Amino acid sequence: MSSTAKNKLPEVEIPDVRTPKILQNQKALVTGANSGIGKGIAVELAKAGADVVVNYIVDPDSAHDLVDQLKEQGIASFAFKADVSNEANVIEMFHQAVKELGAIDILINNAGLQRDAPFEEMTLEQWNKVIGVNLTGQFLCAREAVKIFKKRGVNREISCSAGKIIHISSVHEVIPWAGHANYAASKGGVMMLMKSIAQEVAPHRIRINSICPGAIRTPINKSVWSTPEAYDKLMELIPYRRIGETDDIGRLAAWLASDHADYINGTSIFIDGGMTLYPGFATGG
């Protein structure tokens, strides 16, 4: 696009909206909740009225600070350290969550990481770490949540469904990503994990979906947004011409977990400013 045409584009506006109380009396567990997208989701769920378990693995101070911040919304919250790729840790976390909050209605399967490397240099350790947390971790947490949801069944006072799981996937469940084969494989795996369990447990009134973020402003991916040059380069991949904010994802998660979205089941929702529109084809191809 020529610079004259670029100059005519409207300024970016960030939404100024209030999250409605659509999750009153619901209990949510958010994995990897103490930073980035997980934190943005925990904050919005609390604003929507849900009690929130803040799972974390590193940096306990940030988890405890978040718990204090969430409690200011008048909800119950506590932090729980657990490695989502460790079966015993996960079982213990769900046990504690039910013990302290009385139930779990919503699982946000968010914990995830990257260990990037050119393919021929990728170590088995890098591969296993990413698959372990991003895919096996989502399996282990979903399995415990499904057991709890099935056992309790539907409580009409709380929600139309027995429970909701939201997998945090990525645009990279469909966009291949050179130099990140382990990460893209884990997110492709999350897609079929989500769809297969959704198909299996839907008759039990359990609703399972994925959220697929594009580039979101988090501390982890600072290199892609923190300098004007990097930001301009990133915008070539985003037709809507702004980076996503963690509360963009949080608001979607709160809505998707609520009865407003009751008929949405087994679907990946992309929230990416149009990254999956393959913007290179706007002028190429």
User: Which of 214, 250, 273, 279 touches ligand BGC (CB under 6 A)?
Assistant: 214
106 CB-near residues (< 8 Å, 6+ apart): 23, 26, 27, 28, 29, 45, 50, 163, 164, 165, 166, 257
Closest-CB residue for ligand BGC? 170
Stretch that binds ligand BGC, among 20-28, 123-131, 137-145, 168-176 (CB under 6 A): 168-176
C-alpha–C-alpha distance, residues 256 and 269, integer Å: 10
Q: From the CB of 275, what's the least distance to ligand BGC, in Å?
A: 6
**Position 92, amino acid:** E
Q: Write down the least CB distance from residue 215 to ligand BGC, Å.
A: 4
**Which one, 85 or 170, has the nearer CB to ligand BGC?**
170
> Considering only residues 76, 174, 191, 224, which one is a binding residue for ligand BGC as defined by CB under 6 A?
224
Helices (H), 117-271: 124-130, 137-152, 181-201, 228-235, 246-257
CA–chain centroid gap for 61, Å, is: 21
Closer CB to ligand BGC, 171 or 198, in the complex:
171
Strand intervals (E) in the chain: 27-30, 51-56, 77-81, 106-109, 163-168, 206-213, 268-271
Q: Which of 183, 231, 240, 278 is catalytic?
A: 183
Q: Which is nearer to ligand BGC, 39 or 172 (CB)?
A: 172
**Closest CB to ligand BGC among 12 and 160?**
12
Q: Which two tokens stand for residue 282?
A: 């706007």
Minimum distance, C-beta of residue 80 to ligand BGC, in the bound complex (Å): 24
* Residue ranges in contact with ligand BGC by CB under 6 A: 170-172, 214-215, 221, 224
